Amino acid sequence: MKIKNWLMISYLLVMVLPIAAIYLLYINLSAYDQDQDLMEYLTFQNVVTNLESELKEEALYKIQSDENYQHLRSLADDNLKIDLFRYDGVQLFSTMNTPGNPQLFQVNQEKLFQNLNEYQKKTRTYSVKKPVFDDTNRVVGLYDITLGRKAWVETSNQRTTMMFILLGIFFIALYSVVMLSINRKLNRPLYQLQEHMKAFAAGKKLNQELVQSKDEIGVVITHFEQMKAQIAETRDALAKQQHEKEYMVASLSHDLKTPLTVIRTYTEALENHHLSKEEKEDYQMILYEKLEHMKQMIDDLSIFTSLQSTDNMLHIVQVNGEEFFEMLFSGYEEPCFKKDIELNTELHVRNSYMLDPKQMIRLVDNLMDNSIRYTPKHRRIWLAAISSRKPLPNWVFPEFKDDVNLFRQGGTVMLIQNEGKGIKHSQLEKIFQPFYQDDASRGKGATSGLGLSIAKIIMEKHDGEIKIWSTENKGTLIACWLKEKG
């Protein structure tokens, strides 16, 4: 439940429940009052009925000695009061007066005759005033009977005390429930989130997992977990990049050391005046090759760094499929001919593609350079671009066909297959890593070790894929998957 809705419901309950509790207690007390009132009324009627025979005697309503009223005192007690009045308002007797010390005084006659024969219920007493008539129906006096509600007062006090105790307990219980709910709903999740934030900032990890609820705090926790994952991913990426940079620096230093040593050696040798013209030309050629190799390494490093940059964006344009791939695959006959390698090309492509021509040329150059370098004399290289609508060529090594068919689904695939020594299975997983070279190639100036890494980055920037299969002592196949337009 959302915190906003939860708070609204909580506020409503906090306001309504006390009112409901007070109302229930009031109803309970009212019901008790009604039952008690009926019982007291019946009791009072019974008392009045029993006293009427004694109080209706005409002789009682004349001024006389207090001794004549002693039998009335025996009828009263602390909870029952009897007052006698003469018709003119003179109070003749009251059980509240001290015996033997009668006090005669006159009350207001109009007030005295109010509410005759009516049972009056007050907070602490029941009372009734009734007239007394003589034989001629003349009023000779009045008697006033008052019965105290002692039991009701005591019980009412007890129930009032109990009501306040129950209300106190209720309010304490309600407050406790509200506090526990707030702690469970707000304080505890916020405290846990705060602790996890502190631990994450300090680089520590807490064993207790954050509970993700469906309220606003749960949303904050979800965003915090996503932020943690993103920061952790960024940290890992930065650590990986740092490791790659350190590896690149170490590899570049190692790979530059050999040609620099050769350049220094042959440069010193050229200072020897006893060298023949042919020897000097050979030394100069070696120096030129080593300098060209160093230049190629630096160029590859520059391209690799540029492609890795997030600011480097491809210049995607629409190209004609047939024309572009014919241009892309041209120019490799000469280097293959010089090494006595047979080159076979094949094209079955779609009408148009969206790609960066410059980067695709660099891609194929790197892949073909590797294939030509590792293909022995009198062997073959196959270069093809096959759309998803066409079957794979027959020359694809049979052990690769099923995997390539699965890989090429939904796109055009560029295939570069060569016969040769092949690549060990343990090296295939590392082949696309920057500066990776097998032990036979490292330090011999064969390559910079960045060609396949550059090819992988180019394919990824085209939303494509690159994969390699190889069988030792038979050959290698590299496949590049390109998205087809439409």
Residue 356: which H helix or E strand, with range? Answer: none
CB-based burial, 15-43: b 16+ in 10 Å, e otherwise = eeeeeebeeebeeeeeeeeeeeeeebeee
148, 30: one domain: yes
461, 323: one domain: yes
Q: Which is nearest to 372 in space by CA: 306, 405, 419, 312?
A: 419
CATH, residue 318: 3.30.565.10
Q: What is the pLDDT of residue 102?
A: 56
222, part of any domain:
yes
Q: What is the pLDDT of residue 449?
A: 67
35, 95: one domain: yes
308, 374: one domain: no
7, 137: one domain: yes
CATH, residue 254: 1.10.287.130
Q: What is the pLDDT of residue 447?
A: 57
451, 391: one domain: yes
Domain carrying residue 80: 3-154
Q: How do residues 66-93 score in pLDDT, each as one tens digit?
A: 888 888 888 888 889 999 998 888 888 8
With a cut of 70, list the residues of the chain below it in pLDDT.
1, 98-103, 247-255, 273, 300, 302-303, 306-313, 435-449, 486
CA atoms of 171 and 374, how far apart (whole Å): 88
| 416 touches 383 (CB < 8 A) | yes
CA atoms of 339 and 258, how far apart (whole Å): 25
Instruction: Catalogue the long-range contacts made by 399-408 (C-beta closer than 8 Å, 24 or more residues apart).
Output: 399/469, 399/471, 400/469, 400/477, 403/469, 404/469, 404/477, 404/479, 407/465, 407/467, 407/479, 407/481, 408/479, 408/481
416, part of any domain:
yes
320, 308: one domain: no
> Structurally, how many domains does the chain consist of?
3
Q: What is the pLDDT of residue 99?
A: 64
180, part of any domain:
no
Q: Which is nearest to 388 in space by CA: 368, 414, 355?
A: 414
H and E: helices and strands count for the chain: 13, 13
Choosing from 256, 291, 312, the residue where a domain stops is 312
Choosing from 282, 312, 342, the residue where a domain stops is 312
166, part of any domain:
no
Q: What is the pLDDT of residue 312?
A: 59
In the chain, the percentage of residues whose pLDDT exceeds 70 is: 89
Q: What is the pLDDT of residue 100?
A: 55
163, part of any domain:
no
Q: How far is CA 199 from the centre of its chain?
A: 18
SS3 275: coil
Q: What is the pLDDT of residue 393?
A: 93
SS3 93: strand
259, 350: one domain: no
Q: Name the phi and psi angles at 411, rounded to 5.
A: -155, 170
Q: What is the pLDDT of residue 213?
A: 74
Q: What is the pLDDT of residue 486?
A: 61
Q: Which is nearest to 310 in space by CA: 241, 252, 362?
A: 241
143, 16: one domain: yes
Q: What is the pLDDT of residue 443?
A: 45
Choosing from 107, 128, 154, the residue where a domain stops is 154
294, 323: one domain: no
184, part of any domain:
no
Q: Which is nearest to 355 in space by CA: 392, 318, 405, 312?
A: 318
288, part of any domain:
yes
Looking from the CA of 460 toward its CB, the CA atoms found within 13 Å total: 11
CA atoms of 209 and 198, how far apart (whole Å): 14
CATH, residue 20: 3.30.450.20
Q: What is the pLDDT of residue 444?
A: 46
390, 264: one domain: no
359, 285: one domain: no
261, part of any domain:
yes
